[in-house]
Amino acid sequence: EPEVTQTPSHQVTQMGQEVILRCVPISNHLYFYWYRQILGQKVEFLVSFYNNEISEKSEIFDDQFSVERPDGSNFTLKIRSTKLEDSAMYFCASRGRREENTGELFFGEGSRLTVL
């Protein structure tokens, strides 16, 4: 069964460093998302991406964050200068044309980011 894959599964970085989290969505999917979950808290929407541009972003998604779909298969989230409060689990998700009328999102297993 097709799945969304994320790398790395866990990354430890120093405050101020740049981090790129990678996602490979399901191949024929069109809509892509990043969510964040700080430990013990709710799953929060960061950004949605469609047709090579951001369709919506939350207040959390400030200038330190960017997303890119560089080669038609990968979908990346970049944090330019990490802060301690960026420590969280980051989930990538995708949706295809078939799911437009069901709402279903397919989630990756998450990338845990620890900022020291």
Task: Find residue 7's DSSP bridge partners.
Answer: 22
Q: What is the rounded CA–CA span in Å between residue 23 and residue 67?
A: 11
Based on the shown chain and the rule CB under 8 A, indicate whether residue 101 belongs to the binding site for other proteins. yes
Site string for other proteins, 1-40 (x = CB under 8 A): -----------------------------xx-x-x-----
Applying CB under 8 A, the site for other proteins has a residue count of: 29
Return the range that interacts with other proteins (CB under 8 A); candidates 11-19, 65-73, 80-88, 103-111: 103-111
Contact 92, 75 (CB under 8 A): yes
Based on the shown chain and the rule CB under 8 A, indicate whether residue 95 belongs to the binding site for other proteins. yes
Q: Does an H or E element contain 2, and which?
A: none
Secondary structure of residue 39 in the 3-state scheme: coil
Q: What is the rounded CA–CA span in Å between residue 93 and residue 99?
A: 12
By the criterion CB under 8 A, which residues form the site for other proteins?
A: 30-31, 33, 35, 41-45, 48, 50, 55-56, 89, 91, 93, 95, 97, 99-105, 107, 109-110, 112
